[in-house]
Every structure is written in C-alpha cells, then in structure tokens.
Copies of this chain bind each other. A is one copy, B any other.
Amino acid sequence: MKKETVEQYRAKALEYYEKAHIVLTDEEKANIEVADFGLNDIEKTGLQLVVYVNTDRVCAKEMVLLPHQTCPQHRHPPVNGTPGKEETFRCRWGKVYLYVEGEPTPHPACKPPEGSEAYYTVWHEIQLNPGEQYTLYPNTWHWFQAGEEGAVISEFSTHSTDENDIFYDPRIKRIPEIED
C-alpha cells in the first residue's frame, strides 16, 4: 500500500467516526490503522481501525467499514496456551453483516469481493444495526461486510495479536506493507 493510499483512507475513516460521533484524540486520528490485507483492492477488501487498548488480557478497537467493504474470512486460533481471541462486535453506526459458521442463510445480503469467492465459505448471516452486537468465540471462521452506508463497529475482545490470525485466503497478509 502506498503512503498516500493510507492517508486517503484515514481521511475517509474520519468522516465515519464523525458521523458516529466517536471522539478521537489528535494522535489517534493521525494513526488510524488502514489494512488492505495485501490484496491491493482496499475499496473492496479492507478495514480502518483505532486500537484503544490492547493489554495482555483485554483489547478494544473502533472499526470503520466503508460501504460494502469486507473484512475477509479468518479465525483466531489458540496462542501460547490461551484458547484464542474472543470478540464481541457492537454496531455503533450504519449496518454490518457478520457471517459465521452455522446453518447457511438462504438469501444472504452480501456477496464476497469479486474474484475472491472461493475464500468465503461460512454463510450464517447476522445483521447488526446500531446498538446490536454479537459475541464470537475463539477459532470460529467469520467475515463481515458493511451495508450500503458503511459502518462503525466497536470490538471488545481478549488480547489481539493480528499476526496469529488465520485467513482462509492464502494470498492475504494481515500486517500492511507500506511503501513511500
């Protein structure tokens, strides 16, 4: 990802934090994390986020998904003798569709990003509107996509170690590589 792409998506994310009335410090605004998952198609597969806190025991993040932007299918395996990351997603603004293991939903609202269909295999749909939330236990496959307006989503979880996340799509690199 180019530095200017990161800056461009930081600016976009800020608009959504403002719509959701989420107050960030100047330092947080300047450091919004922009992830393209190494697929170089961030408008479709990507995520913007601020990590509020990430101690050995607790993590909290505020995430932005642009309209129809997708966080690709992944799971959080056991790490260092702990059961793996547990996540609660709470929609604050907009709408997000969360897909998890379980009975496939007959007519899901979302499609995977074009060209990546093979890497989306769980289809139990949970729709989250503002104030609605869902808790995901460790090591279960999941992915999520914003509705047409985008979404702002709080994540409350155990310790977060992105480098241990397992993505279904082997092309994905979670840790962004930023060029000048």
Q: How far is the CA of A74 from the CA of B133 in the complex (A)?
A: 30
Q: What are the residues of chain B within 8 A of A53 when measuring CB–CB?
A: 88, 90, 133, 135, 156
Asked whether any CB of chain B lies closer than 8 Å to the CB of A86, the reply is yes
Asked whether any CB of chain B lies closer than 8 Å to the CB of A3, the reply is no
A132, B25: Cβ atoms under 8 Å?
yes
Q: What are the residues of chain B within 8 A of A60 when measuring CB–CB?
A: 60, 88, 90, 154, 156
Q: Given A52-B90, A58-B58, A58-B158, 17 more contacts at CB 8 Å?
A: A20-B21, A23-B92, A23-B93, A23-B131, A25-B131, A25-B132, A52-B156, A53-B133, A53-B156, A57-B86, A58-B86, A58-B88, A58-B156, A58-B157, A59-B156, A60-B88, A60-B154
